[in-house]
Structure 1
């Protein structure tokens, strides 16, 4: 029996206007009333998903969220950290060197700010169009604090530039970090032990649940790990092919109430 539903935001829970429809809200409310936990799982920070948590009433004691693509597991009401996987100063310097070699703009993010080191000429970061809930500050890579704690780094630039650049990233980096695309124009880089699947494993252990009691719904590459972890993995109708191939069920698209449809069919049995 499903006890926890993990749901991605963009392209999944949210329609193309970044809204949770009234129908989907009603179905999630019904699932919660039946005793099922709802956990939002996003690449955004907690403050970046706060308005959606509030819309769904998920800011009470006992509510949790997975943020930074699994880099953080937090209590939704207080922000208290259950699990955190960070990048160190040395790792940031290595990733910045990679960004310069591949001629890509890089940003890195902690719980409060987005840092902006110098970008390649005429190749500014597009991350400001994605992240609108945190301040952006300049970063001096030569004088980073030794104890800096960063939740993720990102390369954010047009798909036509990013995709071929990703193909040229040395295998050593792929072994040492979790690298996932959350949008065609956004590569997110995290601690090797951070992904949505590992975060759900940590959370379910904390809650005393088994993976077989978890349903996960997503659409993009960064959702693959949680689809694989969950006892019931659901791909959106608009999901990438790789995710559909891993899922047990393909629901409707995010413009067709796909989340509501999946929960009604697989959890509420309507």
Structure 2
């Protein structure tokens, strides 16, 4: 059992943590070890910032469980920055109508794939039918789903943080290989999960969101530690003073980081906090 009299590493003042495959175990739950380490870091005055591809609806229950009041959340891979005391929006980025038209033209109702527009309060789904990947994702992230057409969605005039292509892994592999070069002409792309391939506003990513927050808080990169496991974490790895990959990350992702911790099944977040912050 670790002592309650842990000394703080004064260098680290903010810890940014990815969710799926990092903070959460494979059952999408928080381990007691991770919760305790985060509690101790917050007691020591360290900002704990969830930095995820999830929308607000998929973050709220976990932020509440971690008691992350009066801190910050970076959602939708950098498209939204929230203050957790009242979930007010401090910064946002959205896809232009031209970018949406570009994405929809490439989508072209591809069989087996849905195109999902992530907005702040709900997800709007294009496609011939609702495929299993979209339904699973909505269940995981507590998202409201509306099956619609592009024309009907445009009439709503709602900002879109990310347009996400979703389907089974093999279908997405083929679609990404075919579409990435064309999509990248007008949007930023990232394969955040095996079933999700995202189109974001140009220049938007987790690293950009973290950089903007650090500037607002007057923190240098050297005062920030980040933890993650996926391709959508690479930019924040490159930005932070200390970057930590989970043992379950790919070798490509690990190559971008300073350290490797335990897997998400083995409370790797807690281990990294104790080793590098407390």
TM-score when scaled to structure 2? 0.90
Within the candidate set 127, 136, 141, 1:118 is matched to 127
User: Does 2:109 align with 1:98?
Assistant: no
Root-mean-square deviation over aligned CA pairs: 1.7
Q: Do the aligned residues in 1 keep the contact of 2:224 with 2:240 (CA within 8 Å)? A: yes
Instruction: Indicate conservation of the 8 Å contact 1:119/1:125, yes or no.
Output: no
8 Å Cα contact 1:89/1:148 also seen in 2:
no
Task: Give the 5 Å matches for 1:107-186.
Answer: 107-119=116-128, 124=131, 126-132=133-139, 133-143=142-152, 144-145=154-155, 147-186=157-196
C-alpha separation in 2, matches of 1:117 and 1:185: 16
Q: Residues 265 and 175 (structure 1 numbering): CA distance in 2 closer, same or farther, change over 3 Å? A: farther
Count of residues in correspondence between the two structures: 264
Runs of 4 or more consecutive aligned structure 1 residues displaced over 3 Å after TM superposition:
101-104
What is the aligned partner in structure 2 of residue 27 from structure 1? Answer: 37
1:49-75 superposed Cα distances (whole Å, 9 cap, x missing partner): 11111111102x3x1100011101110
SS state at 1:255 partner: helix
Check whether the contact 1:83–1:202 (CA below 8 A) recurs between aligned residues.
no
1:79 lines up with 2:79 in the alignment: no
Deviation at residue 193 of structure 1 after TM alignment: 2.1
Query: Any unmatched runs of 5+ in structure 2?
Result: 1-10
Separation of aligned partners in 2, 1:159 and 1:15: 21
Displacement of 1:91 after TM fit? 1.6
Residue 77 of structure 1: how far off its partner (Å): 1.9
User: Which position in structure 1 is the counterpart of 2:5?
Assistant: none
Question: Structure 1 pair 8/38, CA: closer, same or farther in 2 (3 Å)?
Answer: same
Q: Given the alignment, which residue of 21, 38, 41 partners 1:11?
A: 21
Any idea what SS the aligned residue of 2:252 has? Answer: helix
